[in-house]
Copies of this chain bind each other. A is one copy, B any other.
């Protein structure tokens, strides 16, 4: 039933709905997201929401898809610069970029992820996983000595998920005694030292 929006007008409506969904989720938390609120914030009637989405779940899907897409769009262009840096600096720079994205719009994405990440049903991290793997591969290409590092798969998994979750949790925790930079450096140091040891060298 739901039509794929071809025209510019429809496209704008769909975008407004997804955006509104993110706003409402960030502002009111997952149990207060209603289709009516989304539609109202989007400035359209509920009916219009159902013109473009089969149901509420579909809106959720689009919302989290948007976050992932934005994150990927933000990270991918950084890859060429990142691979030129020492690993520690590259990680810190990456984390800073992610932080910036999460904190835009009064932390909209941050709050959405905090509330919605468990909805693994909706939040598919795969594309994010892919771009980070791409980064890692480019990095390894540039630094072939890393090929000796063992257990790259586990490292990558830990970094992607542990790193992401830690970041989100930390940014969401106003009481944390730890500064963001300390955290970022900690992550960078951990990865760096592991790599060095594993590859048997100094980076």
Contacts and interface: CB of A to CB of B under 8 A. Distances in A.
A56 to B, nearest CB: 10
Contacts of A178: 153-154, 157
Contact of A172 (B30, B120, B172, B183): B120
Contacts of A191: 190
Main DSSP-derived SS at the A contact region: helix
A99 interface: no
Nearest to A169: B161
A15 interface: no
**Band of interface residues on A:** 35 or more
A158 B190 contact: yes
Contact of A193 (B119, B157, B163, B197): B197
Pick the 8 closest A-B CB pairs, nearest first. Answer: A154-B186, A162-B162, A165-B165, A162-B166, A193-B197, A193-B193, A118-B118, A193-B194
